[in-house]
Every structure is written in C-alpha cells, then in structure tokens.
Structure 1
Amino acid sequence: MKIQAVIAANPKSPFLVEEVELGEPRANEVVVRVVGAGLCHTDLVARDKEYPVPHPLVVGHEGSGIIHAVGDAVTKVAVGDAVVMTFVTCGNCDPCHAGKPAYCKSLYDLNFSGGRPDGSTPLSRDGKDLCGCFFGQSSMADYCIASENNIVKVTNSSVPLELLGPLGCGVQTGAGAVINSLQPPAGSSIAIFGMGSVGLSGVMAAKLVGCSKIIAVDILDSRLEKAVSLGATHTINSSDKDPVEAIREITDGKGAEFSLDMVGRPEVLRAAITCLGSLGTCGLVGAAPFGVDASFEMADLLFHGRRIMGICEGDSVPEIFIPRLIELYAAGLFPLDKLVTKFKLEDINEAVEAVERGDVVKAILIPS
C-alpha cells in the first residue's frame, strides 16, 4: 500500500515527507494506522547519523494507532485494537529473560539497523528498498508495520490515543528512570538535569512518588517554568549559576540524594555526580554520541559512596509500565498532555525547529 512517510536522507538536513510503498505484514507482524507519533531526540540523532544508522531511513519510534491488519500468527491483538508501539527486543537473551528487555543483547541491531533481523525491510521507494523498522516501527507515517513483540494494547478508551505514542520511548524513559531505576523514597531529594520531555517526565514521576525536593536544572527559563507547573519545588538556570553549589544550598549543604542526567553531555554528568551527597545515586539517561568520554574525580566518588548507573528506556517492561502510565494519566496524576503540542505530519521540520528553539517540549505529529 502507498503511504506518506518522514525520511531522513542527509545529515543536518531537513526531513523529507514522501510517498513510499509499505509491504504486507509477515506472520508475526501487524499493520498500524498511525494516529500520532512523538518527535524524540533520537529521531534527530538518526537524522544526523550521530549513531551509525543507514540512510535514507523512515524514522519515528513513538507511535500510537489502530491495528489495520495482522499476520497469521498474531494473537495479542486484532484489527481495530488501539496500541502504543515501543522498542523491539529479541525476547530470548539473558536480559530479556530476566525482565530487563531494555538491555537486550540485540537491542542496537534490532532498533537501529534499518531493517528486520534478516536484513529485509517492509518499505520501498521507486522500486528500491528503503530503510525502515526504526525501533521496530518507523511510525512517522500514516501507516507502519510493527511486530507483535513491540506493541502494547491500550484498553482504556477514555484517553486520547494520539497522545500516547511518547509513552513508547521518551516518557517511559524519564518516568521509569525515577520509578523503576532510582526508586527514591518519599521525602527524598532529587536533582534532574535537562527539562526536555524526558526530564519533565522525570519531574512528574518524582512528584508522584513523593520526593520532597525536586530540583529542576536547565538553561531555558521557559522549561523551568514548565517544570514548576509539573511538580518541581526548586529551579536552577545553570547558565546563570553553578548548579552544584545551588543544589547544595537547597539541600542544606548535604547534596541531593538522587540525580539524573537527562542531557548526555560530559559536563552535565559531572555536575549530576558532584551534586550528590554521601551514598547518593546518579542515573545517566541522556544519550551521548558513541565515542564521547566523561571524567570525574575517583577519590571523591569512592569516599562518598556515590553510585552511577546507566538507565536505558527507564528500565521499563513496556507491557507492564505503559498501561500503568496510561492509568495514572487517566486518573489525573501524570499530566502527559501538558507536555504536548500537535503538528501535522507534513510539518515535521516546523516541529523540529520549535523543539530546538525550546518553544515546544514534545511535538506529536498527526497524519492527515
């Protein structure tokens, strides 16, 4: 079938929106009519080839929609079901068996290779194969193919389905970093560096679990104001003041008990570690390009018992965590809608510019 899709063709260049051909689903695959697709920083990383992804590539990995067709072996969903699409895993390696699918041994190959595990792709353009299967979906399109492995059925019909795509990556990453990974106890302090959609999801989650001091750090006052509206108790504009000194002042000299680097820059990670008090834990969430090194003082880390943990996809088991986030949203406890601005699919480059300016937190692309 012919579809409209967003294509990354050249690094640092605008996305293309073109007509492409979507093939038939295989036995374990589904065709999804996309109703909304979140724009994530990782889509821009793929566009700019900061990770070694193939071009031209149909991007999009925060899709939600309605099942349009199913392969012969699919049993999880039926035509007409509402779904959120998330990252894809093998389901057979040790981390997958241990309930840690975000650390699947084949995670990179399955999500960034531009094709299925056998190298094929369901997409073509002008009779030539087009790289797809980005995060098992390539959902910046009006239709896409996903596998039964990376779809989560939405059973609550009261929530707007077009808002839910970001739960598949950015939102579950930020919220999960707090709820699943750090697990801060009620009354604890947390500093979150970076108030994009991932960081703001972390702020909402920190409020949800009862952190008493939620310290938001960013360089844009507009983002910090948004953080306050979502639960931050303190804000720091790190372009105006040293965030480490400010965090120590806020915490009466003790330092934060928990911190999160949602940015993925060495200087931010160093600050997120240094701002911790004794026995504090820093979670690294922001995705830096391959080959980037960070440094920190080893003795300081050792003698204060500080810990650093890498966090991928919020340590989420999507089949469990995404439905819980949906129910929290429906109950008014996790206001996902406050992050969102909608754009038409064909306005993808306008959406990118708005996000990069800081005018928009989470853009969601709506197919015509």
Structure 2
Amino acid sequence: MKAKAALLHEKGADFKIEAVELSAPKDDEVLVRIAASGICHTDAVVQDQLVPVPLPAVLGHEGSGIVEKIGANVKSVAPGDHVVLSFATCGACEHCLNGDIAYCTEFFPLNFFSQTSPIRLNGIHVSSFFGQSSFATYAIAHERSVVKVDRDIDLDLLGPLGCGIQTGSGTVLNKLKPEFGSSIAIYGCGSVGLSAVMAAKIAGCAEIIAVDVFQQRLDLALELGATHALNAKKVDVVEEVRKITNGGTNYAIEATGIAEVFRQSVQGLRTLGTACVVGVGGDVTLNMNEDILSQGKTVTGVIEGSAVPQLFIPKLIEYYKKGRFPFDKLVSFYEFDDINQAFEDSKNGVAVKPVIRMKSSLLIKEEKS
C-alpha cells in the first residue's frame, strides 16, 4: 500500500517527505494509521549518525494511531483500536522471557539495524527504525510493540509515552523505586528528565533537584514538581547539590549523554547513592576510587525505563487522568511538513517534546485517490 514518509538520506540532512510503499502486515504484525509521532533525542542522534543506522531510513519511534489491519495471529488488538507504538523485542531470549524486555539481547539489531523492512522507496527497501518507523502516515509493527490505549484521551498526545516519557518516568518508578523522603537529582530537563521529575514527585521524593542550562526548562521543572532548579551555566552544580542535600543525593538520573554532566551526576551522590544513565553518549573519565569505590556508589544504565510498555503505559495514562502526571505540558505540536523545524526547535531548547501530526485523514484521501 502507499504511504507518505519522512526519509533521511544523508548524515545531518533534512528530512524529505516522499511517497513510499508498505508491505502487507505479516501474521504477527499490525498495520497502524499514524495520527502523530513524537520526536526523541534518539532520532536526532541517528540523524547525526552517532548511531549509524543505514541510510536512507524512515525514523520515528514514538507513534500513536489507529489499527487499520491485523495479521492472522494477532490477538491483543483489533481494527479501530487506538494504540501507542513502542520498542521492538525478540520475545524469545532469556531477558524477554524473564520480563526484562527492555534488555532483550536483540534490542539493538531489531531497533537500529534490522535486516528486514516493510518500507520501499521506488521499489528499493529502505531502513526501518525501532520496529515502527512512525514518521509516516502508516506503520507496520509487531504485535509485541503495540499497546492498546483508552479512546477518551487525545490520540495525538500519546505517542511520546512509547519512548522518551516512558524512559524518564520508568527509570524512577521501575528501576530506582526511591524511598519516600529520599533525594534525587535529574540532570537534563528535556522530556526524559522532566518525566523523571514528575515520577519522583509521585514517588514522594523530598528533594527533587532539576539541572539544565535552559532557564525555561528549569521553570517548567519547578512547575512539575522539582523542589530546586540549578542552572549549570551559573552555579557549581556538584557543590550546590551537596549543599541542598547535606552531602549528596540518594539517586541521580543523567539524561544528557554529556561526559561532564555524567561526572557531576556521580560526584553529586552521597555514600551508597545510585546514578542511572539514560542519555546516549560517549567516553567518560572517572576516578574509580574517589568517585565510586570509596563511597560504595552504583552506576547503572537504564533502557526504556525498564518498562513493559503494555503494563506501564496504561499506568502513566491513569496518572495523567488523575492530574498526577501532566505530560501534556511538555508537548508542542507541529504539522508533518514542519518536521525539520520541529527538530531544530528541539535542538535549540524551544520545544521540550515536539510531536508531529500527520493530518491522516487528508493524506489517506490523497493516497487512495
């Protein structure tokens, strides 16, 4: 079938909206008419080829939409259901079978370097992404990647729950599980970091310290539940964190991928503190004795908030309905044609979580005519 998709052809290039062909869904797959898709930092990392996904490719991995067609073996959703799309897994490795699906042994091959793609441009297959490629009017996803959601929530709003918002909130609620009255510092107040702020408030943390270089994001962090906001351009972050918490935080989340910020997140911990790394980054230098060993600190990586999307995303929606997780305050909407502007605004801190609306009804009419 025909669809329209935003293709990335070269490293650092703008996205180009083009007509593509999609294969029919296989027995265990779902065809989804995409309503909207969030833009995540990981999309930008691939655009810059810091993660070298083969090009050309259709990116996008925070899709939301309506089920159009299902394969013969699909049981969890039906045509007409509203869904959020999340990451791909193999479903068969020891981690998947143990419920730790974010640590699937095939996570990176399936999500970044898949050898199979349902998308063709001028008859030639192009790379798919995260098992969905949701920068398009239609997407094919495995049933394991599809999460059925309530119809009474704006569908355009829900896509970011599939990755960025799930990552930040899940790192707090699923991985760290902070004790009531504990302290946490969150380094980087994009959508991941701000989702962690909201989750830390839900968890009952006494000190929630937000760190960023954009003042408007720090102001939003305070609105969403942070007790303190530190502008890293204006203060010595580690010194201030230790001062606020009388020695350091129990927990830290590093969401920037920047080496110096990662060091700050570790150095700002108190004895036996834990730092979670969720930002994609490169090499980091630490003094193992002073920064980790002598104080028994723990440093761990977290993928996708250690979440099972089918269980966790509905919980986040319930928190949202009760006014406890107002993630809509992170979202700025853009039309499909403005995807490159959305990426630019995200990079410059203008938009926390850009979401691309596909104008599905208009495009579908064009595609079928």
Partner of 2:253, secondary structure, is: strand
Residue in structure 1 matched with residue 233 of structure 2 by the alignment? 239
Measure the CA separation in 2 of the matches of 1:299 and 1:131. 44
1:274-324 Cα shifts (integer Å, max 9, x gaps):
001111111111111xxx221212222112111111111111111111111
Residue in structure 1 matched with residue 155 of structure 2 by the alignment? 161
Q: Displacement, 1:52?
A: 2.0
Residue in structure 2 matched with residue 15 of structure 1 by the alignment? 15
1:67 paired to 2:67: yes
Residue in structure 2 matched with residue 148 of structure 1 by the alignment? 143
Residue in structure 1 matched with residue 330 of structure 2 by the alignment? 339
> Residue 312 of structure 2: which of 316, 321, 326 is its match?
321
1:98 paired to 2:98: yes
Measure the CA separation in 1 of the matches of 2:110 and 2:241. 40
Letter in 2 for 1:225: D
**Which runs of 5 or more residues in structure 2 are unaligned?**
360-369
Runs of 4+ in 1 over 3 A off after TM superposition: none
> Residue 181 of structure 1: which of 175, 192, 196 is its match?
175
Residue in structure 2 matched with residue 249 of structure 1 by the alignment? 243
1:296 paired to 2:286: yes
Letter in 1 for 2:125: D
1:36-55 Cα shifts (integer Å, max 9, x gaps):
10000111111121112100
Letter in 2 for 1:74: V
1:5-33 Cα shifts (integer Å, max 9, x gaps):
11111111111111111121111111101
Q: Displacement, 1:336?
A: 1.1
* Backbone CA RMSD of aligned residues: 1.0
Q: Displacement, 1:249?
A: 1.1
Q: Displacement, 1:125?
A: 1.2
Partner of 1:247, secondary structure, is: helix
Measure the CA separation in 2 of the matches of 1:229 and 1:18. 40
1:42 paired to 2:42: yes
Q: Displacement, 1:120?
A: 3.0
Aligned-pair identity (%) = 47
Contact 1:174 1:202 in 2 (8 A): yes
1:136 paired to 2:136: no
| TM-score computed with the length of structure 1 as normaliser | 0.96
Letter in 1 for 2:313: I
Measure the CA separation in 2 of the matches of 1:303 and 1:355. 39
Measure the CA separation in 2 of the matches of 1:10 and 1:48. 9
Which runs of structure 2 are paired with 1:245-284 in the superposition (5 Å)? 245-252=239-246, 254-284=247-277
Q: How many residues align?
A: 358
Residue in structure 2 matched with residue 123 of structure 1 by the alignment? 119
Measure the CA separation in 2 of the matches of 1:22 and 1:172. 28
Letter in 2 for 1:153: K
Letter in 2 for 1:233: T
Contact 1:9 1:47 in 2 (8 A): no
Partner of 1:178, secondary structure, is: helix
1:193 paired to 2:187: yes
Letter in 2 for 1:348: I
1:208-251 Cα shifts (integer Å, max 9, x gaps):
11111100000111110111111111011111111000101111
Measure the CA separation in 2 of the matches of 1:42 and 1:147. 20
Residue in structure 1 matched with residue 298 of structure 2 by the alignment? 307
Residue in structure 2 matched with residue 213 of structure 1 by the alignment? 207
Measure the CA separation in 2 of the matches of 1:192 and 1:62. 22
> Residue 339 of structure 2: which of 348, 354, 357 is its match?
348
Letter in 1 for 2:8: A
